[in-house]
A and B are shown apart, each in its own frame.
Chain A
Amino acid sequence: MRGADALLDALRDRGVEVVFGYPGGAIMPLYDALLGSGIRHVLMRHEQAAAFAADGYARVTGRPGVCIATSGPGATNLVTGIANAFLDSVPLVAITGQVATPLMGTDAFQEVDIFGITLPIVKHSYIVRHVEELPRVMHEAWDIAASGRPGPVLIDLPKNIAAGAAHGAARVHQPRPAPARADEALLARAAGMIARAERPVIYAGGGIGIGRAIHAFRQFVAETAIPVVSTLKGLGAIPTDEPLFLGMLGMHGTRAANSAVQQADLLVAVGARFDDRATGKLDGFAPGAQVIHLDVDAAEIDKLRRAELALVGDLAASLAALGRRPRIGAWRRHCLRLKAQYAFRYDAPGDGIYAPELLRRLSVAADGEATITCDVGQHQMWVAQHCLIRRPERHLSSGGLGAMGYGLPAAIGAQLADPARTAIAVSGDGSIMFNIQELATLRRYNLPVRVLLIDNQSLGMVRQWQELFFERRFSEVDLSDNPDFAAVARSFGIDAMTVDSAAQVDAAVDALLHHAGPLFVHCRIDPAANVWPLVPPGHTNATMLEGNML
C-alpha cells in the first residue's frame, strides 16, 4: 500500500464519496491511487473552483468537503477558497501535492510554501513528513475541520510520501469531544434576562446552520415569540416568510430589522460574530441593548461587542434551556408595524426587468426549496433581501471573504451533494467571469445547475459606491464590452437564453425551474440599478439611504 492509498482509505473510512480537484506533477501518486478507489473525483477547471465546489458541498451536507491540487500554482490557486472556508466557518480538507521532501526548501520546480502561505487562513495544517503518519493526519484533519467551529484544514503531501510504501501504517483516531452545553447557572441567568426584557431582539447568525441547531433555534423563537433579525449567513435560520422575521440587519438590511435592533433593550446573539457589515458603526450599534451572546467559539465573546452574558457551548443544547416567553406584546406589535411599513415594493416602473422582483418570484415559485448560490455584488444583496429562504444550507453566499467567482462552483458542489434538489447559481456579469470555465464542468458531468446571470454591464456595487460616495467619479467599473454570454454558454454546450423585459420574466422563471439539464439565463437589467436601502460607511444602522427602483 502506498501513502496515497492510505490517505484514500482514511477518506473512505469517513464516508467520503466525492472530491473536487485538478491533477498535476506533485500530486500524481494520489491521482493514480484515485483510479479504482471508489471515490468519485470531479475534475474542475481551476483549483479555486475545486475549493469553492468542496465548500458548497460541505455547506449542504454539513460534512467536510475535500479538494485536491498539485504543488505550486495548484496550491496557491486554492488559497482564495481556503480563505473563504475559514471566514465562513466551512469544514474543508484541502490536500496539496508538494515536491519530494529532499527538494523542499530548494526552490524546486512548482515548489511553494503553501503551509506557510495558508497559516493565517486555516484552522490547522500539516506537512506530512513520514508516510506512516498519513492515516492519523487524515483522520485528525477531518475531526478538526468538522468539530466545534468548523474550518479548513490543509494537508501538504510531498510526492515521495504519497508514493512511499505505507507498511503497517497505524489508523490512530481519537474523535474530538463534542462541544458541551453552556454553564447551567449562566443559562438560568440568561433565561431570566430574556423573561424580563421589554424590547428583545434575536440576532441570528451563520452559526445556527453550521451548528445544525436550526430545530432548537426555531423552537426557541416559537417559545419566546421574540422578533428575529439575521445576518447574511443566518438567513434561513427561520424561514424568511415567518411573521416574526424582520429581515437581514446591517448595511443592506431592512429598515425594520435595523430599527428594531437600534431600539432593543436586549440582543440575543445566536452564532453571530458582530461583523462590521452587520453592525455598521460599532459604537452606535444597538446602543441601549444588553447582549446575551451564544457561540460555540469562546474567542468570539467580547471580540467586538461586550456581552453582558456569554453562553459558550453547543447552540442547540443552550437554546433548549432558554425558552421563557417575555411579556412583549406591545414591542412585538411595534416591530411588525415597522416590518409592514417598510416592506419592499416590487412595482418598479418601466418595461425592464427589476432584479429584486425576478429573484423574489423565482424563489417563491421554487417554494424556497431550491439551493441558491451567489456570487458577490449587487445581485448577492438582492438575493439576500428578496429571496424566500427556508434553510441556511439553501442559501450559499461568500459572506466573510466576499469572493467573486464563488457562485457557479459552489452550485456544482451543492448539486452533487443533493442531486434531487434544484441548484441555481445567481451571478453578475463581473463575477461570472471569475470562474466561467466551470460551464465545462456542468457539461462534462451533465449537472442540471441553472445559472441566472444578472447583467448590468458594470461592476454594479462598486459603481453604486462611486456614485454615492465618490462624487460619481466612475473608475474602472464599465463592462459594456461584455461578451454575448448566451453564446458563450452555448459554446460550452449549455442551453441558454437572454431576457431583458418584464414580459419575459415568467418564461425565465419557468425555464430556471423546469428545464432539463444545465441552463444559462442571461438577464439584462438597467445599468443604473442600485441596492436599497443602504447604511453609508462609517454610520450607524440608524442611518439608511433609500433610492429609486430601477
Chain B
Amino acid sequence: MSRTIEVSLARAEGAIVRTLGLIERRGFIVESVTTRSDVHAEALVLRVEVVSRGRPLDVLVRQILRHFDVRHAFLVEPQAAGQRLVC
C-alpha cells in the first residue's frame, strides 16, 4: 500500500534530489512525485507517494527531517490530505 509524504523544502540547490534520493536509498519505492511552490514562493512543497517494503514510514519521515533544507515533513493521512499523523 502506498502512502504520501509531504515535504517542505528550502529553495536550495540539490534539495529535491537529496530528498528523493534518501527515500529510495532507505528502501522505499517512489510511485509518484508532485511539486508546488508555497504561497510565498519561499519553499517548494514536495508530495511523494511511496511504497514501503516493510520498513517504518515514521522513521523515514524522521530521516527526511534531518536534512538541513527540510522545513517540515509529515505523513499524509490516507483520503485526508493535509492532516498530520507524524511529524
- Interface residues of A, Cβ cutoff 8 Å to B: 115-116, 119-120, 123-127, 129, 144, 149, 297-299, 301-303
Contacts and interface: CB of A to CB of B under 8 A. Distances in A.
B59 A303 contact: yes
Contacts of B13: 115, 126-127, 129
25 contacts: A115-B13, A115-B14, A116-B14, A116-B17, A119-B14, A119-B21, A120-B22, A120-B25, A123-B68, A124-B68, A124-B69, A125-B14, A127-B13, A129-B13, A144-B68, A149-B66, A297-B66, A298-B65, A299-B59, A299-B62, A299-B65, A299-B66, A301-B59, A301-B62, A302-B56
Contacts of B59: 299, 301-303
A126 B14 CA distance: 8
B38 interface: no
A104 B69 CA distance: 23
Most buried by A among B17, B21, B66: B66
Contacts of B14: 115-116, 119, 125, 127
A297 B65 CA distance: 10
Nearest to B63: A299
A119 B18 contact: yes
Nearest to B22: A120
Contacts of A115: 13-14
B84 interface: no
Nearest to B25: A120
Interface string B53-78: 00010110011011111000000000
A467 to B, nearest CB: 33
Contacts of A127: 13-14
Nearest to B59: A303
A-B complex: 6 closest residue pairs judged by Cβ atoms: A299-B62, A124-B68, A299-B63, A298-B62, A303-B59, A119-B18
Contacts of B22: 120
Most buried by A among B56, B66, B68, B69: B68
Nearest to A297: B66
Most buried by B among A126, A144, A298: A298
Given A124-B69, A144-B68, 9 more contacts: A115-B13, A119-B17, A120-B22, A120-B25, A123-B66, A124-B67, A298-B62, A301-B59, A301-B62
Interface of B: 13-14, 17-18, 21-22, 25, 56, 58-59, 62-63, 65-69
B contacts with A: majority SS = helix
Nearest to A153: B68
A158 to B, nearest CB: 13
A contacts with B: majority SS = mixed
A149 B18 CA distance: 18
Contacts of B69: 124
Nearest to A151: B66
Contacts of A297: 66
Contacts of A116: 14, 17
A281 to B, nearest CB: 16
A305 to B, nearest CB: 11
A529 to B, nearest CB: 38
A115 to B, nearest CB: 6
A129 B13 CA distance: 10
Contacts of A123: 66, 68
Nearest to A304: B59
Nearest to B67: A124
B36 to A, nearest CB: 23
A129 B12 CA distance: 11
Contacts of A149: 66
A126 B18 CA distance: 12
A41 B62 CA distance: 38
Contacts of B65: 298-299
Contact of A120 (B21, B62, B66, B68): B21
B75 to A, nearest CB: 14
Contacts of A125: 14
A149 B21 CA distance: 20
A463 to B, nearest CB: 32
Contacts of B17: 116, 119
A124 B17 CA distance: 12
A125 B58 CA distance: 25
Contacts of B68: 123-124, 144
Nearest to A125: B14
Contacts of B25: 120
A115 B14 CA distance: 8
B13 to A, nearest CB: 6
A352 to B, nearest CB: 46
